[in-house]
A and B are shown apart, each in its own frame.
Chain A
Amino acid sequence: MRKITLAILLIAALSGCQKSPSQEAGQRNRAPLEKITFAYTVQPQGTLVHVAVAKGYFIEEGLDVQASIHTFGKVALQTLLDHKADFAAVAETPFMFNVLKGEKICVIANIEASNMNNAIVARKDAGISAPGDLKGKRIGFTPGTTSDFFLDSILTSIDLTRQAIKPVALKPDEMQAAIVGKKVDAVCTWNYPLTQIKRLLGVNGIMFYDREIYTETFNVASQQDYVQKNPETVRRLLRAMIKAENFVAQHPDEAQSIVSAATKTDQDIVREVWSAFAYRVALDKRIIITLEDETRWAMKNRLTDQTVMPDYLTYIYLDGLRAVKPEAVKIGR
């Protein structure tokens, strides 16, 4: 009986010695915050980043995040490439193009996936009322982005090629003015501009999408040498993102308000498109399949000089997420 009592006391004492997660967070809080620059966008794909910032999860993890906010991921990634940011939130397409250019970058986590975010919105008064009507029409798109890849994909699905249309290269913030000003008949883009343009066109607008031909991913990317040198920073950032993921799952209404305020977008629009996105911090085969798929597309359409498929597995940094949420890593070496 005495031995049992001693054992219980010992276990209790050892339990008391262990640090609880809140204690660890408290200790990190007492340490000076580590400054990092995070380049992200005002798109719905960046929801987890907005929430992590708004809820103070980065600070909780000891990170003082300097925000570098952009209209789309390609620009955010460029900030990373220019060494003006330590991390960037970007879709897989710009990432793929920069890998093909030889940039030593890597994805540390996928933070969003959607097969409903990309679409073509067209003007009916331009004679477009069915997908086939796009033939010969001026369609605005943003080269080097998901918009570029999705445009070809949807054209393929309606038995067309890019040669059958008149592609017009536009930046996302130029799309609205272009279609309203009838400089283009349609635009191939993403949210929130997509829904905003559709609303602006009203009954004159029509939207074409195909949820079975493309799945977009949005990812946190960084320089390979940076993650190698700062693994703890990566882990802290990922822990903050996971907290944001849990918050979004448990408090979607509040998360929508945060995103609405952060992106200066009507909450109606935020709520309207909310269900099109899956916000999860994960690393699975989808990113590799998509990257390879788009690489084949880029090579075939001579959008890159590369002719050899890169080993994208080497462009995925698994150790960070594996350390903080191993069950979210579904890619084996």
Chain B
Amino acid sequence: MITALIVLLSAIIWLLITTRSANSDLQLVDDIQTNFLERTSLRDQYFLYHEEHIRIRWEENKHHSDRLLRQAGLQLRDKETLLIIEELARNIDDTSDIFHRIVANSNALKSAGGNREILEELDKRLSSQLLLKATLIRDTVFSLKKSALKNVQQRNLQLTVTVILLSGSLSIGFVLWNILLKQEVKTKTMNLEGVVAELKKSEAELCQSQAILQAAMDCSPAGIAIADAPEGKLRYVNNAGLFIRGGNRQSVVNGVGIDQYVGSWQLLDLDGSELRTDEVPLVRAIIYGEPSSREFIIRRKEGDDRVVEGNAAPIKDETGNVTAGIVIFTDITDRKMADDKIAASLREKEILLKEIHHRVKNNLQIIASLLKLQSRYSFDEKLNTVFQECQERIRAMANVHSLLYRSKDLTRINFGDCIRETTAELLRSYQKGPVKISLDIHADEVMLSIDEAIPCSLIINELVTNALKYAFTETGHGEIRIELAETEQGIRLLVKDNGVGFPPELNFRETKTLGLQLVNMLVKQLDGTIEQSVESGTKYAILFVQKHISVEVPHEGQ
């Protein structure tokens, strides 16, 4: 729009200039026409009177004509018009020549003799040609005038049209601007209305959310209280809070401080010591601006104690300043009482289990002692060996129970301890020959359940007994190395001696001795594998995956 206006304004300025120029051209052509008409009049006067002063005026007029045509040659720009001016000048010069001949002929006529008739005829011919040229000049001048006038009219028309266009453009622009402005105002109003509607909707939704929140808080079984920071004046307490506190909401909430709110109570820590004000979760949330959680006891006026779990959090503004604090406190008295009952029941069961393990161990030791006593009445070496082996096996099992009732959780034992106790007893029982046998035990802290500990203990018992009994037949130093480790593949148990080595003709998996049969059977029970190698002694490598240990606490009544 601005560009169009600039273009139109430029066009108007240009048209004003060209119109002025066209008017000036018209004035000049008008002058040429006037000059021509005056000369025509002078010509006629001269033809009538043949007076010298008229001829002089005619000459002056011709000079003026020359000046006008020169000016036209400089002023007019149109190429075609300039050609017409040139032709006009030529024709006027021709008339001048003819006029001069007429003047000369007139003078000759004044003193004419016999040739008067010829001179008169010549005068007519020349005058006729002068008229003819004058006609041509007149037509040319009129054409020029018409052309100049048309040019002026065209410029005026162009100027008028351009001014109308400018006015029209301005009017249209104004109307369009008005329409656009109205449209913009309408759009903005609609947008504003939309925003207002949206705000109202949001406000309604917020009210609804607040109402929901209020209702949720009001009917929450947990007590909820909100206090402003930093004074700690209560802003809100829900029904559960009032129930714990007592009184009506108005009397509690309006301007009542937390200290007053809790003033009628005695707040105690769980150990029975008095709770300081700055240890109250809501107070801490307001003072320190951080969440706070604590279990404590409320001792009410009536004297009854309620165990409460309080969880408080600060409420902060957009700059991070604490503006209020909220606490949710739950009466956990009943839960606490139930927890205590469960704990007591567990303790009772632990004692009972320990007693069971202790009695099993004692019973197994009694059985072993009975077998030992019985063996004293037998003189059969083989039978006595059987009795001894049975004793060792029962001791191995008893060791497990012994370690179990001494353990913390009564379900698992550190199997390294079991290895050490079992092998020490075996060494004491079997080291009677010339060979000095030493035990080298490398055991990680591997915790095994009773289901794994007893087979493992029996396996250790059998393999170490075999080594003590058969590996070292000569004098010297024997060594039994036991390794226990928890690897990525599972629990690895290694029993190795530097004795004579397992007889190569025997397959340890198919031997008919009870000991190795027991070992194979127990490994299978563990879902494990056993490998034997004979190289500078005998080595057994047992690998099994430890089963998941679940400790089930028996519920009351089970």
Chain A interface (Cβ < 8 Å from any Cβ of B)? 115, 153, 156-157, 159-161, 211-215, 284-286, 289-290, 293, 296, 327, 330
Contacts and interface: CB of A to CB of B under 8 A. Distances in A.
B366 interface: no
Interface string B117-146: 011011011101101100110010011001
B429 to A, nearest CB: 120
Nearest to B130: A212
A289 B126 contact: no
Interface of B: 94, 97-98, 101, 115, 118-119, 121-122, 124-126, 128-129, 131-132, 135-136, 139, 142-143, 146
Nearest to A212: B98
B125 A289 contact: no
A164 to B, nearest CB: 9
Nearest to B128: A293
Contacts of A285: 132, 135, 139
Contact of B131 (A157, A212, A289, A296): A289
B129 A284 contact: no
B521 to A, nearest CB: 106
A169 to B, nearest CB: 22
Contacts of B139: 284-285, 330
Contact of B97 (A157, A212, A286): A212
Contacts, number: 54
Contacts of B126: 212-213
B132 A160 contact: no
B143 A289 contact: no
Contacts of B131: 289
B135 A289 contact: yes
B121 A156 contact: yes
A284 B143 CA distance: 13
A192 to B, nearest CB: 24
Cβ-closest 7 pairs across A and B? A285-B135, A330-B139, A293-B128, A156-B122, A212-B98, A156-B121, A213-B125
B118 A289 contact: no
B118 A160 contact: yes
A115 B95 CA distance: 13
A286 B132 contact: yes
A217 to B, nearest CB: 10
Given A156-B118, A212-B101, A284 B136 contact: yes
A215 to B, nearest CB: 6
A263 to B, nearest CB: 26
A159 B115 contact: yes
A86 to B, nearest CB: 29
A115 B122 CA distance: 16
A160 B114 CA distance: 11
Nearest to B105: A157
A212 to B, nearest CB: 5
Contacts of A156: 118, 121-122, 125
A110 B119 CA distance: 31
A270 to B, nearest CB: 22
A286 B115 CA distance: 29
A182 to B, nearest CB: 29
Nearest to A300: B121
B128 A289 contact: yes
Contacts of B115: 159
A289 B128 CA distance: 7
A159 B143 CA distance: 38
A279 to B, nearest CB: 13
A159 B112 CA distance: 11
Contact of B125 (A153, A159, A286, A327): A153
A290 B136 CA distance: 13
A286 B122 contact: no
Contacts of B121: 156
Contacts of A159: 115, 118-119, 122
A214 B119 CA distance: 16
Contacts of A290: 128, 132
Contact of A327 (B118, B124, B143): B143
Nearest to B127: A293
B132 A157 contact: no
Nearest to A294: B128
Contacts of A211: 94
Nearest to A296: B124
